[in-house]
Amino acid sequence: MVITICSTPAEHRVTWMMLVPTMMHRLLRLPQAERAAADLSSLQTVLHLGAPCPPDLKRRFMAWVGAERVVEVYAGSESNGVLAIRGDEWLQHPGSVGRPAGGTTVAVRSPAGVDLPTGETGQVWLRREGDPTYRYLGTPSMRTDDGWDTIGDLGRLDDDGYLHIVDRVDDVILRAGVNVHPSEVERMLETHPAVRSAVAFGVADDDLGQRIEAVVDVAGATVTTAEILAWVQQRLDPARCPATVRIVDEPVRNDAGKTNRRTWAARTPPRGADTA
């Protein structure tokens, strides 16, 4: 995917754009001189959605375009609920995906379906006014008779009612009895200057139950697995550090910022194979 910043805003005067975090990351990897030369004066709104946005990435992007222009939307393809947050709000609630909008109600619940107190992590459930506009083919729906539905995310609500997404329910890694969210591993790996994108996942392990593995896309940069492992080991608790990191030179996420952790886990070389 090639990204070009328009250098003739007088001709197009773009006012609105929609991005996913992968695109934001790619834009920030452009040479500083190229970004500095871009005239963003006509730009009013940058909408981002589609995948979790690492806080460090979002801060750097807002520092470039302006926090008040950036709007994040959290919703599923089913549009069973919508939450939104503007960049200047986000700075007061870092990591949040916003508060309910468009007739949406949000709840965070335990596996037994009990609403959890503020600050506790559970499965995110949404309900939106009106009749459903979707149905599933070949798979059962989680939608309840009173209109609540979930897309399988884990999250928590803060004291002001802002939702913070933690990870996907199905992707949580159980390592030696400790729940590890792969998104926190990925976010830390992606702070390394050479890493364009990362994916972390659990792999069966006789001793730990599951061990943490990761694949990073470095886009041809000169870096070793030992350097990347040292980077993350200095910044994450040992229980959350990947056992190995495999380096690739192609994106590990698609242009919409999506990835399939189970597919990557299935492609992981056996323990002890060369990962350099």
Which tens digit of pLDDT belongs to each residue from 64-86?
999 999 999 998 877 788 999 99
Q: Both 59 and 196 in a single domain?
A: no
Q: Looking at residue 1, what is its pLDDT?
A: 46
Give domain status of residue 275, yes or no.
no
Q: Looking at residue 244, what is its pLDDT?
A: 93
Q: Looking at residue 77, what is its pLDDT?
A: 75
What residues contact 263, with CB distance under 8 A and at least 6 apart? none
Model confidence band, residue 218 (pLDDT cutoffs 50, 70, 90): very high
d(CA 117, CA 217): 39
CB of 53 closer than 8 Å to CB of 25: no
Mean pLDDT over the full length of the chain: 87
Q: Both 91 and 205 in a single domain?
A: no
CB of 201 closer than 8 Å to CB of 157: no
Q: Looking at residue 271, what is its pLDDT?
A: 64
Residues belonging to the chain? 276
User: Mind listing the pLDDT tens digit for each residue in 88-112?
Assistant: 999 999 999 999 998 999 999 999 9
Q: Both 27 and 102 in a single domain?
A: yes
Instruction: Mark residue 165 as left, alpha or beta (left: phi above 0; alpha: psi -120 to 50; beta: remaining).
Output: beta
Nearest in space to 45 (alpha carbons), one of 60, 24, 75, 66: 66
- Checking if the pLDDT of 205 tops 90, the result is no
Sheet of 244-248: strands edge to edge?
197-205, 209-217, 244-248
Q: Both 195 and 166 in a single domain?
A: no
Give domain status of residue 252, yes or no.
yes
Residue with tokens 């008779």: 145
DSSP assignment of 83-136 equals: EEEEHHHHTTSTTEEEEEESSEEEEEE-TTSPBPPTT--EEEEEEESS------
Q: Both 20 and 150 in a single domain?
A: yes
User: Which among 136, 170, 204 is the end of a domain?
Assistant: 170
Give domain status of residue 154, yes or no.
yes
Nearest in space to 162 (alpha carbons), one of 106, 204, 117, 205: 106
Give domain status of residue 223, yes or no.
yes
The residue that leads in pLDDT, 29 or 117, is 117
User: Mind listing the pLDDT tens digit for each residue in 3-38?
Assistant: 455 544 556 788 999 998 888 988 998 889 989 888
Q: Looking at residue 162, what is its pLDDT?
A: 97
Give domain status of residue 105, yes or no.
yes
User: Mind listing the pLDDT tens digit for each residue in 241-276?
Assistant: 999 999 999 989 887 778 889 888 888 766 654 443
Q: Both 42 and 122 in a single domain?
A: yes
How many helical (H) and strand (E) elements, i.e. helices and strands, does the chain have? 8, 14
Range of the domain at 45: 9-170
Q: How many domains does the chain have?
A: 2
Q: Both 129 and 34 in a single domain?
A: yes
What residues contact 14, with CB distance under 8 A and at least 6 apart? 6, 42, 43
User: Which among 170, 186, 208 is the end of a domain?
Assistant: 170
Give domain status of residue 50, yes or no.
yes
Q: In this structure, what CATH number is given to the domain that contains residue 130?
A: 3.40.50.12780
User: Mind listing the pLDDT tens digit for each residue in 128-183?
Assistant: 887 777 677 777 778 888 889 998 899 999 999 999 998 888 889 989 888 899 98
d(CA 99, CA 105): 9
